Amino acid sequence: MENWQKELRVDPTSALISSSNKAIEYFARRDLLDEKVEPIETLWELPEVKRILHKQQVDGSWKYPGGGKEHLRSQEDYNQLETYRILGELVEKYGLNNGHPVIRMAAEFLFTRQTDGGDFRGIYGNQYSPNYSAAIMELLIKAGYDGDPRIEKGFQWLLSIRQNDGGWAIPLRTVNAKYADALKAEIIKPDLTKPFSHLVTGVVLRAFAAHQKYRRSKEAIQAGELLASRFFRKDTYPDRQTPDFWARVRFPFWFTDIVSALDSLSLMGFTEENPNIYGALNWLKSRREDDGLFDLKLQKGKDEDLKFWICLAICRLFKRFYGSTSPRARPQQLVNFLNTTTS
């Protein structure tokens, strides 16, 4: 067993490989066991992928399935949200990239929502959305657009709208504006003197973590330190504010939770010697089950295999933190996260 598997004590790879989900088995063999696997394009032929691709509209988007709320946001903006969601499914679960025409069409649709300033507008009406802008950028980067000048423009916008403390927040929240009112208002500029939101900062850092150049930037590292300092704590702003949201997990990642945050920090070069990270990893270890999976609060939706996807994501980040070399010295003092989190 490699060190990361020893850290977990119960090796979860057998449970992942024996999953009936072909994509989970594929990624477990490729990413965890370093086995030689077939080209990623083999996953693109799965029936579940074809069902998703079949529903793409001629403009490259996917239609939002629900109705209503047109008085707050247009149907077109809901389609942007649905296209982002579907792109996450295709990129994260089946490895689709811009070698596939459907991904190229979806990317160009999303880029039509990018403003001259660099952000992606519309999901919050006419208001700035650093979280959704970065979340869309993360997926586009993973789909092969990391060198696209439009992605560079997006990073420059994100860097320009940081709070003074180095993190990010939703601008309308920094001035105590209500969503319903803000969606019908003129653009609300942020109060950069207000503190960062770990919910928003965690999402924004996913874009930085996905990019080879920006993941090690001084701005990203500073924000990563801020994010780690807030594990299992209450957010500054009212959205998903209570500490228990750290333990509510989803894949593909959407909001900030403990798995998505650790995933980003592991890609950015942080180590388990950071006591906040070490405590969070210990907390995950405490949630292990006998079969190697994890007992977490799943934001499930329709995915019956979410427990396996979350386990795969956790194993990936443990492998990055611990690898297969000799374990590093542990910090002498450790924040007791188990007393500050909800079971």
* pLDDT bucket at 7, cuts 50 / 70 / 90: very high
Write the pLDDT tens digit of every residue in 21-68.
999 999 999 999 999 999 999 999 999 999 999 999 999 999 988 755
pLDDT attached to residue 330? 43
Most confident of 133-147, 171-185, 230-244: 133-147
Mean pLDDT to the nearest integer, 93-118: 98
Q: Give kind and range of the element (H or E) at residue 266.
A: helix 258-267
107-116: list long-range contacts, CB under 8 Å, 24+ apart.
Answer: 107/60, 107/140, 107/143, 107/145, 108/60, 109/59, 109/60, 109/61, 109/80, 109/83, 110/60, 110/80, 110/83, 110/84, 110/136, 110/140, 111/150, 113/80, 114/150, 114/153, 114/154
| CA–CA dist 170, 175 (Å, integer) | 10
Percent of the chain residues topping a pLDDT of 70: 91
Residues β-bridged to residue 298: 249
User: Is the pLDDT score of 269 beyond 80?
Assistant: yes
Closest CA to 219 of 265, 262, 167: 167
pTM: 0.91
Write the pLDDT tens digit of every residue in 219-241.
999 999 999 999 999 999 988 87
* pLDDT bucket at 340, cuts 50 / 70 / 90: very low
Sequence ranges of the domains in the chain: 1-38+249-343
Q: Is the peptide bond before 252 cis (omega within 30 degrees of 0)?
A: yes
Mean pLDDT to the nearest integer, 77-87: 93
* pLDDT bucket at 124, cuts 50 / 70 / 90: confident
For the chain, the residue count is: 343
* pLDDT bucket at 177, cuts 50 / 70 / 90: confident
* pLDDT bucket at 251, cuts 50 / 70 / 90: very high
**Sign of the Cα pseudo-torsion (127, 132, 134, 139, in order):** negative
pLDDT attached to residue 145? 98
| CA–CA dist 333, 87 (Å, integer) | 42
Burial class (CB in 10 A: 0-12, 13-18, 19+), 146: middle
* 126-130, 262-266, 313-317, range with the lowest pLDDT: 126-130
